Amino acid sequence: MDLQDYRAARHRTLVEMATELGVPADRAAAVVDRVIEDQRRRIVRSADPDQVVVPALREEVLGGRSRFPSLAIFVLVAAVAAAFAVTILTGPPDPETVERRAATVPALVGLTSAEAVSALGRAGILSRVDPAPQCDPAGQVLGSVPPSGDTVRLDEVVVVIATATPSWSCPADAAGRVQAWAFLRFLVSGSARPHLAPEVRLYVDGNAAGTADGTHSATSPDWRWRVRDPVVAHAVRPVANDLGQPVVSITSGPPPPTTCGLPTPSPSGVAGAPTRVVLTSSGAGPGDGSGDGQGDGPGLECQLTIDLFKDDGGAIAVVSVTVPGGSGLGPPPWVRTRDDRDALDD
């Protein structure tokens, strides 16, 4: 990377970071300039210079290779004195100052790696992308380390785990996988538009729930209340796994007869078997004999499941969503009680 481009893009942020580490404001810029100059060769060779400069800046300020042996002592004395003065004169620290020193990793499910890096950047969080070869379209976010919901210091680097093209052969279902990820992004982030039929029939928890306009965004009422809101609410919650978000699995073929103990819809006017998207947030309970890991009745865990049925032209014509916790309940209350209930397809 060009040294001057990096300096122009990151100098202000690095100066703020140095100040947060305890360097006096009138000396922070000089410290940053020195670190950048010391790391000149590594910056030029690095794909992500922050991985070089941030640790070097911390080491420069807090000790180790510091060219000014008294700097660490000066910082420590100044910090103690400042803390004492603040406690005596002004009371507790300013919450805004504390907030600037840390940030919460946002939910990244349904984003591309580029979108995730942008989202983290808006939160003031440094990041890098690590590839995970999979038979899915490249660049789909699988999670992060630390995971979403965690609090990180502003000098920490969050690692975004994203799909990458594998070196091995993949099943011949690439088109279905691309369409499935695009539909997930259509719902969660609105940054993709899959090939949708002009009128898309909807099913919720095994029951017909009207139609949605395939030309509308996922935030329009016909999509939002029946499909988008329950999927997003489930998908963006922090998950107790290493990546902090649901594991997305995509399969093609005939669906099992039941999903979460409810009959799987068999809509007419579709071309063949659906593509099934399962967002696994936790271990599934005992199966229903179908091998889908979706449980067999109330009280047993199931996972959020989306079946995408296509028409003869390859457009998604039917969407069936099964929401965890909805087993045996039919359409959820937010469908049954809306003003457009008379439009529901019995």
pLDDT of 291 above 50: no
Where would I find the H helices in 140-245? 174-188, 221-223, 229-235
pLDDT (0 to 100) of residue 25: 77
Domain with residues 174-343, CATH architecture: Roll (3.10)
Q: Read out DSSP for 216-248? A: S-TTSHHHIIIIIHHHHHHHSS--SSTTSSPEE
pLDDT (0 to 100) of residue 100: 56
Domain with residues 102-164, CATH architecture: 2-Layer Sandwich (3.30)
CA-angle at 180, arms to 179 and 182, nearest 5°:
65
Give the integer Cα–Cα distance in Å for 122 and 251: 34
- The 10s digit of each residue's pLDDT in 105-141 is 999 998 999 999 999 999 999 999 999 988 899 999 9
Q: Identical fold at 102-164 and 174-343? A: no
Distances from the Cα of 37 to the Cαs of 13, 23, 42, 237, in angstroms? 16, 18, 10, 43
Give the integer Cα–Cα distance in Å for 179 and 308: 9
pLDDT (0 to 100) of residue 20: 65
Which is more confidently placed, 225 or 287?
Answer: 225
How confident is the model over 185-207, as a mean pLDDT?
Answer: 94
- The 10s digit of each residue's pLDDT in 134-181 is 889 999 999 999 998 899 998 899 999 999 998 888 888 888 999 999
Q: Read out DSSP for 283-298? A: ---S--SSSSS--SST
Q: Residue 30, by phi and psi: left (phi above 0), alpha (psi -120 to 50) or beta?
A: alpha
pLDDT (0 to 100) of residue 1: 66
pLDDT (0 to 100) of residue 254: 92
How confident is the model over 316-324, as a mean pLDDT?
Answer: 94
pLDDT (0 to 100) of residue 220: 94
Distances from the Cα of 333 to the Cαs of 205, 209, 230, 329, 337, in angstroms? 12, 12, 11, 9, 6
How confident is the model over 67-95, as a mean pLDDT?
Answer: 39
How confident is the model over 280-298, as a mean pLDDT?
Answer: 46
pLDDT of 46 above 50: yes
pLDDT of 267 above 50: yes
Best-predicted range by mean pLDDT among 5-19, 69-83, 130-144? 130-144
pLDDT (0 to 100) of residue 266: 92
> Of 219, 195, 213, 187, which Cα lies nearest the Cα of 323?
187
> Of 10, 15, 47, 42, which Cα lies nearest the Cα of 29?
15
pLDDT (0 to 100) of residue 282: 67
In degrees and rounded to multiples of 5, residue 196 shows phi and psi of -110, 145
Give the integer Cα–Cα distance in Å for 56 and 61: 9
How confident is the model over 67-93, as a mean pLDDT?
Answer: 39
pLDDT (0 to 100) of residue 6: 82
- The 10s digit of each residue's pLDDT in 236-245 is 887 877 788 8
Q: How confident is the model at residue 326 (pLDDT cuts 50, 70, 90)?
A: low
Distances from the Cα of 71 to the Cαs of 35, 63, 78, in angstroms? 14, 8, 10
The Cβ-side half-sphere exposure at 110, using a 13 Å CA radius, reads: 23
How confident is the model over 292-310, as a mean pLDDT?
Answer: 68
pLDDT of 69 above 50: no
pLDDT (0 to 100) of residue 10: 85
pLDDT of 234 above 80: yes
pLDDT of 92 above 80: no
pLDDT of 76 above 60: no
Which is more confidently placed, 296 or 125?
Answer: 125
Tokens in use for 234?
């489930």
pLDDT (0 to 100) of residue 214: 95
pLDDT of 285 above 50: no
Q: How confident is the model at residue 310 (pLDDT cuts 50, 70, 90)?
A: very high
Residue positions counted in the chain: 346
Tokens in use for 331?
């359409």
For the chain, the domains span 3-100, 102-164, 174-343
pLDDT > 70 fraction of the chain, expressed in percent and rounded: 75
Give the integer Cα–Cα distance in Å for 345 and 222: 13
Which is more confidently placed, 153 or 82?
Answer: 153
Q: How confident is the model at residue 287 (pLDDT cuts 50, 70, 90)?
A: very low
Task: Give CB contacts under 8 A, 24+ apart, made by 215-218.
Answer: 217/190, 218/186, 218/187, 218/190
